[in-house]
Amino acid sequence: MVSVFRKEVAGFLNSLIAYIVISVFLTGIGLLMWVFPQTNILDYGFADMGTLFGLAPYVFMFLIPAICMRLFAEERKSGTMELLFTRPLTDMQVILGKYFAGLFLVLFSLLPTLIYYYSVSELGNPKGNLDSAGIMGSYVGLLLLGAFFTALGVLSSAVTENQIVAFILAAFLCFICYDGIQAIASLEAVGSAGYFIERLGVIYHYNALSRGLMDSRDVLYFASITIAVLLLTKLVIGSRKW
C-alpha cells in the first residue's frame, strides 16, 4: 500500500495536477472570502468562516473528481492495471494506496486555509472573538466530506477507462449525495418520509458537524459511507475475475 501511495503522490507532484489543484482551490476560496463583493468577510462584518465552509464543498465537487479521475482510468487505458495487479499486492492495498494519495492532496489544499482562521481571529473585535469550536467542527466536517468525495472519485475512476467519463460521473455522484438527497427530502411528494431522507444526505451531517458539536453519529455516518464506497470499488476492480 505504501509503495502505491508513494508512487501516486510522486505522480501528482511530478505532473502539474497537484499544483493546479491546490492553487485553483486556494485562489477560488481566497477570492470568495476576501474579494468578491457578495461573499467577502470584510463587507459582511462578522468574524466567522461560514463562506469557506459553505462554498468549499462546491469547489471540492469539481476539484476532487479532477484529482481522482486518472487514478484507475489511466491504468486501465495504458494496460498498467495488469502490471499492478500481478505484483504481490492485494486489490485493497492498491485501492487504499490510491485513495490515500488523493486524500493527501485534498488535505494539503485545505491546510493553507488555516491562515484564514488566524486572519479572521485577528480582525475580530475584540481580537480572537471567534467561534473556534464551530470552526474546528467545520474543518473535521470538511475533511470527512473530502474523504467521502475522494472515495466517490476513486470508484468512478475504477469503472471506466475514460478519464472524462470518470470526472463527470464523480462530479455527478458528489452532487447527488451532497445536494440531491436534500432536494428530494424537501419535495412535497415524499411527505413525512422527507425527515428520514434528509438524514441520508451528506449535507445534513456536514451541517451538524459545522455547529461544532462532534457527534459520533455524524462521524460514523461519514466513515461508513466512505468505507462502503471503497468496498464497492473493490468489487468493481475484482470484477475482472468473474
Partner 1 sequence: MSISVKNLTKIYGRQKALDNVSFSVEQGEIVGFLGPNGAGKSTTMKIATCYLPPSSGTLEVCGINVEEDPLQVRHQVGYLPEHNPLYLDMYVHEYLGFIGHVHKLRGKELREQVKRVVEMFGLTKEQNKLIGALSKGYRQRVGLAQALIHDPKVLILDEPTTGLDPNQITEIRNLIKEVSQQKTVLFSTHIMQEVQALCQRVVIIDSGKIVADQNVDRLKDASGVAGEHQTIRVLFENRVNKEDIGKIPGVIEVHPKTDGSFLLLSAGDQDIRSNIFHYAVENDWVLVELTRESHSLEEVFKELTGKGGSGG
- Chain residues binding partner 1 by CB under 8 A are 2-4, 6-7, 10-11, 14-15, 78-83, 85-90, 240-241
**158 closest CA partner among 64, 235, 67, 78:** 235
Q: How big is the CA angle at 190 (ends 186 and 193), to the nearest 5 degrees? A: 90
Which one, 8 or 218, has the nearer CB to partner 1? 8
The per-residue DSSP string of 6-52 comes to HHHHHHHHHSSHHHHHHHHHHHHHHHHHHT-TTT-HHHH-----HHH
Which one, 11 or 54, has the nearer CB to partner 1? 11
Q: Residue 100 CB, nearest distance to partner 1 (Å)?
A: 16
Alpha-carbon distance 2 to 5, whole Å? 5
Q: Residue 235 CB, nearest distance to partner 1 (Å)?
A: 15
Which one, 217 or 241, has the nearer CB to partner 1? 241
Q: Residue 217 CB, nearest distance to partner 1 (Å)?
A: 38
Q: Residue 161 CB, nearest distance to partner 1 (Å)?
A: 13
Which one, 85 or 117, has the nearer CB to partner 1? 85
Alpha-carbon distance 229 to 156, whole Å? 10
What distance, in Å, lies between the first and last C-alpha atoms of the chain?
Answer: 24
Which residues, other chains included, contact 39 with Cβ-Cβ below 8 Å and sequence gap of 6+? Answer: 32, 33, 51, 55
Which one, 84 or 176, has the nearer CB to partner 1? 84
Q: Residue 9 CB, nearest distance to partner 1 (Å)?
A: 12
